[in-house]
Amino acid sequence: MIKARLGMFHENVRMSVTNILSNKMRTFLTILGIIIGVAAVIAMITTVSGVTGEITSQFAAMGTGKFSVSANGTELRPGLTSADLETLRQMDNVTGISVSMQSDVVARHGGNWSDEVTMEGRNTVYFKHNENMIARGRGISVLDEAQYARVCLISEGLQEQLFYGHDPLGETLSLDGHTFTIIGILSTENDNDVMTQAMGNNDNEKCIVPYTTAMRMSGTAYIKSIEIYVADTEKQSDTIELTKETLKRIFNGRDDDTFTVINMSVLMDSLNTITGMMTTMLAGIAGISLLVGGIGIMNMMLVSVTERTMEIGLRKALGAEPNMIQMQFLIEAFILSVLGGTIGAVLGVSISIMLCNAMDITFVLSWNAIVLGVGFSALVGLVFGWAPARKASKLNPIDALRAA
Amino acid sequence: MSMATYFSMRDIVKTYHVGEEDQVVLKHVNLDIQEGEFLSILGPSGSGKSTMMNIIGCLDTPTSGEYILKDRSIGQLDQHELAQIRCHEIGFIFQQFQLLPRLDAMENVELPLIYAGISHSERQKLARKMLIRVGLGDRMHHYPNQLSGGQQQRVAIARALATNPTLLLADEPTGALDQATGKQVMELFHELNDEGRTVIMITHDLSIASHAKRIVNILDGVLSEGVSEYD
C-alpha cells in the first residue's frame, strides 16, 4: 500500500513536470510573480544584513576596548579635573584615558582667514589609539600636554583654505589670535567612520591642539568628555561599574544627571534592534509581492483545471480517485512555486552581490533568507494550489468528459 | 460459457436539475445483462443513452432504482470503491478517443495501470502487450497527433484493455472514424467479445449497432428491447 502510494506520488511528480515543461512561456509568466517576490526578499535581506555587518564591524572596531564618559558635573564642579582624570586612570583594568574638548575658533595664516572651524583639544592617548588619523607629521606628545604647547594638527580642508597647497608643516597659524606651530596634517580617511558621521562632525575643516592648551585658552579647568580604554575587554562591564562608582564619589554621591557612561556595545544592541526591524519590514513588503505571486499561481491553476477538464474526467473514468487528482494538481502548484522560488533565490542573490559590490561592502550569503524565501514560496504554492486542486478533484467525470 | 448475470438495473430513474425544472432523463429503466454479452444501446442524441453509459460505468449514480453490478448495489458504494470498479472492471472507449496529447501511445495505455498501483516495469510490459494486441506494435512511442483516427482509437482500446476488465463500455466508438476503419474496430470488438468480455456499445447508428448480438433501443428515456422505428 505504501509502495503503491509512493509510486502514485512519483507518477504525479512526473505528470506535473511533463505538464509544466509543455508550456514553458506560460509557466514562466505564472511563476514570474513568485520569482520577483523571492528575489526581492532575498536581495533585501542579504543586502541589509551585509550593510548591518559592515556597520557592526565598524562599531566593533571603535567600540571594543573602550567606553565614553560624558560628565556635565554639578554646579560647583562642572566636569572632571586633571586630578579626577588621574583617579580614573588609576582604576583597575584602565590603560589610558583620551580627552576630548571642542570649541569653535577662527584660524588665520598671513592674510588668509578661515571660516569658523572646530578646535579639538586632545591628548597623547587619543593619538595612540587613532594613529591612522595622522596623514603627515606627528601627534600630540606628553610634553606638549605638560607645557601647554602651542602646537596643532590641521585637516586637509583647513590646509587648502589657508595654505593654497604649499606645505604647512612647521609653519605657524593663528587660532583666535594665539599663534600655533603646525606639527601634523590630519587624514581625511578617518572621517568616513560611522561614528563620526553619526555624530555629524565630519567637517573637513578642523584642528587639534593639546587639551591642556585648549583648556587654558577657554579658561576652564574642567573636562566634560573622555574615553576610557581598558586592557581586558572581557572585564569592560566591571570597569564601567567601577567608573560609575568613582564618578559618583567625585560628584558628591550624585549620579542623576551629572554624568553618562556610553557603552558602545549598548549602542550596537540598539543598532541591531533597528536593523532587525528594518529587515522585518522589508521582508514584510516583499512578502506581499510573494502573496501576489501566489494569487498568480492560483489563477493559473484554475485556468489549468478548466482547460484540462477532459483530462480530469478521463483520469476519473480510468480509476483515479478524487484525492489522487487533488494531489496531482497540488504537486503541480508546489513544483511551480518551488521552481519560481529557486529561480528567484538565484536572482536575489545575484542582485545582492551586485548591490554589495556597488556599495563596497562584503557580501554575506544569508541561508536564512534563502530558506525563508523558497520555503515561503512553497507554502504559497500549497495554499494557493489547494483551492484549484480541490476544484479539480470535485469535478464530476461525466460533466468533465461531456465538456470535451 | 456460463450465463451468470453481469449486472441488472431495476427501475432506474435519473433526474437532472435544469434551472427550476427537473428533467427526467431515464424513466424506470430495467435491463439485465449476462456475462459475455455483446449489447448495443441504440438511440438518437438526447435520448438518455449517455446517461445510461455513465450509470453502467459507475461514473454516475441513479436518482432512484437499483443498479446491481456483480452482486454489489452500486448506490451503496463510496467514491473509493466506485473508482476501484472503474479501474479494474470496466474499460471505457470514447468517441473522441480521449488520449492525452502530451503522452505517447505507451504512456496513454499505462494511465489506468498507474491508478491500479502497478509498478513502472510491469506497466510497460502490459502496455506493450496491449498495443501489440491491437496491432500497434510499431507505433508505441508515437504521440496521438502522429497517429490516424483508427490508430488513436486502437490506442484507446488498448488503454481500456490494460487492466484486463470484464466489461468494455464504448460510447460511439466509430463516430469519428471512416467506414473502413470503423469496421476494423468492430472486428476487434467481436474478438474481444469472443474472449469472454462483456461488450456494451452506445450508438445512434443502426449499422454499427447491428454488429452486436443484442440491441436495446432508448428513446426519451424509455428503454425497450429490439430496434424501434425511430429513423
Q: What is the mean pLDDT of chain B?
A: 90
Assess if residue A263 is contained within a domain.
no
Q: Which residues of A193-203 are buried (b: 16+ CB within 10 A; e: fewer)?
A: bbbeeeeeeee
Q: Residue A240: is its pLDDT beyond 70?
A: yes
Chain A residues with CB under 8 Å of B176 CB are: none
Chain B residues with CB under 8 Å of A315 CB are: 111, 115
Same domain, A233 and A142: yes
Same domain, A50 and A175: no
Hey, of A22, A314, A402, which one would you mutate to test binding to chain B, going by the most B CBs within 10 A of its CB? Answer: A314
Assess if residue A45 is contained within a domain.
yes
Cα–Cα distance measured from residue A60 to residue A62, given in angstroms and rounded to the nearest whole number? 5
Assess if residue A216 is contained within a domain.
yes
Write the CB contacts of A171 (distance below 8 Å, at least 6 apart in sequence): A109, A163, A181, A182
Distances (CA, A) of A308 to A30, B68, B95: 17, 32, 18
- The enclosing H or E element of A244 equals helix A236-250
Quick one: pLDDT at residue B228?
58
pLDDT digits (tens, 9 = 90+) for A285-336: 877 878 888 888 888 888 888 888 888 888 988 988 888 889 888 998 899 8
Same domain, A296 and A209: no
Contact between A317 and B92 using a beta-carbon 8 Å cutoff: yes
Q: Which amino acid is at A42?
A: I
Assess if residue A305 is contained within a domain.
yes
Q: Which amino acid is at B227?
A: V
Quick one: pLDDT at residue A403?
59
Quick one: pLDDT at residue A4?
62
Q: How many domains does chain A have?
A: 2
Assess if residue A106 is contained within a domain.
yes
Cα–Cα distance measured from residue A35 to residue A290, given in angstroms and rounded to the nearest whole number? 8
Using left for φ > 0, alpha for ψ between -120 and 50, and beta otherwise, residue A319 falls in left
Residue B55 distance to chain A (closest CA, Å): 10
Quick one: pLDDT at residue A293?
82
User: Among A225, A257, A289, where does a domain finish?
Assistant: A257
Write the CB contacts of B115 (distance below 8 Å, at least 6 apart in sequence): A315, A318, A319, A320, A321, A324, B83, B87
Mean per-residue pLDDT for B216-224? 92
CATH T-level fold of B37-61+78-225? Rossmann fold (3.40.50)
Percent residues over pLDDT 70 in chain A: 92
Residue A293 distance to chain B (closest CA, Å): 27
Assess if residue A65 is contained within a domain.
no
Mean per-residue pLDDT for A139-167? 89
Indicate the pLDDT class of residue A192, thresholds 50, 70 and 90.
very low
Structural domain span for residue A187: 73-257
Same domain, A350 and A282: yes
Quick one: pLDDT at residue B29?
94
Q: Residue B61: is its pLDDT beyond 90?
A: no
Hey, of B99, B107, B108, B111, which one would you mutate to test binding to chain A, going by the most A CBs within 10 A of its CB? Answer: B111
Contact between A310 and B98 using a beta-carbon 8 Å cutoff: yes
Contact between A321 and B83 using a beta-carbon 8 Å cutoff: yes
Cα–Cα distance measured from residue A348 to residue A158, given in angstroms and rounded to the nearest whole number? 45
User: Among A228, A257, A286, where does a domain finish?
Assistant: A257
Assess if residue A264 is contained within a domain.
no
Same domain, A124 and A174: yes
Same domain, A184 and A79: yes
Same domain, A308 and A330: yes
Same domain, A247 and A294: no
How many A/B residue pairs have CB atoms within 8 Å? 65
Indicate the pLDDT class of residue B38, thresholds 50, 70 and 90.
very high
Write the CB contacts of A343 (distance below 8 Å, at least 6 apart in sequence): A31, A35, A38
Q: What is the mean pLDDT of chain A?
A: 84
Contact between B98 and A401 using a beta-carbon 8 Å cutoff: yes
Mean per-residue pLDDT for A195-210? 68
Residue A10 distance to chain B (closest CA, Å): 10
Cα–Cα distance measured from residue A340 to residue A30, given in angstroms and rounded to the nearest whole number? 9
pLDDT digits (tens, 9 = 90+) for A260-273: 888 776 777 787 78
Hey, of A20, A318, A327, A399, which one would you mutate to test binding to chain B, going by the most B CBs within 10 A of its CB? Answer: A318
Assess if residue A67 is contained within a domain.
no
Residue of A nearest to B91 (CA): A318
Quick one: pLDDT at residue A2?
63
Same domain, A99 and A246: yes
User: Among A257, A286, A320, where does a domain finish?
Assistant: A257
**Model ipTM?**
0.87
Same domain, A237 and A317: no
